[in-house]
Structure 1
């Protein structure tokens, strides 16, 4: 039987994976499509990844290692559909300090509507 912490970690890993899949699918859609996600949805995905990281840290070994392995699939997909970024725009969107934050905060999609939305935040890159 799973503990509450394990169930939380599993739900967060599934949510992270679903968010990455949606971000990936949206990259081929036009900005005008009313179903596409925006920069705030990306922010929500990154916050889920934060919570997943925290949940994994609370798990005992070997469960933590198994959860890390599970999360790696979504992490690799996220890496493959994103490019490095300063993180300044996402910090402004999330209204957080990125000091000490995970690598995912420093990546943005390589194409798609989220990029168009983030263009409005370019003043934070200066």
Structure 2
């Protein structure tokens, strides 16, 4: 498993490739940041400060990529990979709640059908939630 994590290259863009282990770490780091946002532990505004719904969407795209890599892995490694991401997934679930409107996905302009469960969650507090709910209010009046 360790060899697979370190030896599997994941192309994120034409000019950026990372190891699968790094991709899993990116998801864990994004979850930690979203948790800090939810807990009010991040000061400031803008990209260097507090995150918004677009930033959360970026994190969820990372989780999408993790899922694609799990599905593409040799069958005998899929369960171990799912276990490797479970801790971050459980933490993510701990500070989010169901969002049947899928406001983050809709705000990012994504189709909401066939999205992973992580797209159907919204932080229980914080600036990402506030931003997504503001978008929801716009949908209710103008969208």
Residue aligned with 1:74, SS: helix
More strand, by proportion: 2
Equivalent position of 2:39 in the other structure: 28
Q: CA RMSD for the aligned pairs?
A: 2.2
More helix, by proportion: 1
Equivalent residue in structure 1 for 2:103, among 80, 89, 100: 89
Does residue 17 in structure 1 map to residue 53 in structure 2?
no
Q: How many residues align?
A: 126
Alpha-carbon spacing, 1:40–1:102, altered in 2? closer, same or farther (3 Å): same
Gaps of at least 5 residues in structure 1 are: none
Q: Greater RCO between the two (CA within 8 Å, min separation 6)?
A: 1
Alpha-carbon spacing, 1:5–1:125, altered in 2? closer, same or farther (3 Å): farther
Gaps of at least 5 residues in structure 2 are: 11-17
Structure 1: which 4+ aligned runs deviate by more than 4 Å? Answer: none
Query: Is the CA contact (8 Å cut-off) linking 2:98 and 2:120 kept in structure 1?
Result: yes
Aligned positions of 1:1-126 closer than 5 A: 1-2=3-4, 3-5=7-9, 8-29=19-40, 33-34=44-45, 35-122=49-136, 123-124=138-139
Distance 1:45 1:27 in 2: 14
Distance 1:63 1:49 in 2: 18
Bigger mean CA offset, 73-82 vs 2-11? 2-11
